[in-house]
Structure 1
Amino acid sequence: MARKTTTTAQAHAAPAYLAWHVSQKGEKSYWNKVGAVWAHKDGKGYTLQLETCPINGRIVLRTPLDDDRQPEGEGRS
């Protein structure tokens, strides 16, 4: 059985950021949520928990939106 690495505090606290995998197809960007980031209690670091690990594109960290929807037009290069 896989070990859970999320602490109890992390499981109940809202993440500081959401992690998004952004891939580019021509002029269009596709955003898929892949994880979340929590700040350490001492303020000296972060924990990144990925549900999947993309092998292409980029990972963008954004503050969560109230309704947890995909950012529109964000992060375009």
Structure 2
Amino acid sequence: MTNQATSSRPTHRIYAVTKNGNKKIWRAIGALWPHADGKGFSHKLDCVPLNGAEIVVREIDADAEEGAR
């Protein structure tokens, strides 16, 4: 594992994923940052799903983030 420096920008998004029929609904609920020593992560949740949603962590796609602004 590489030794990544902690930055002010998160490296991952945290989502609550629910199903509505065959459709999956992804709601961003937080963010995740790697520790400087590369041995763990810190996370911040804006909300906690109480509906049995699956919690999914995905690496942030910088290109997609730019297009969303």
TM bracket (short chain): 0.7 to 0.9
Q: Which residue of the other structure, out of 26, 33, 42, is the alignment partner of 2:21?
A: 26
Residue 45 (structure 1) aligned with residue 40 (structure 2): yes
Structure 1 position 42, deviation (Å):
1.0
- Note the residue ranges of structure 1 that are not aligned, 5 or more in a row: 1-9, 70-77
Greater strand share, structure number: 2
Computed over aligned residues only, the root mean square deviation of the Cα atoms, in angstroms, reads 1.6
For normalisation by structure 1, the TM-score amounts to 0.67
Which whole-Å CA distance do the structure 2 matches of 1:30 and 1:52 have between them?
Answer: 16
For normalisation by structure 2, the TM-score amounts to 0.74
- Note the residue ranges of structure 2 that are not aligned, 5 or more in a row: 1-5
Alignment coverage as a number of residue pairs: 59
In structure 2, the partner of 1:13 is: 8
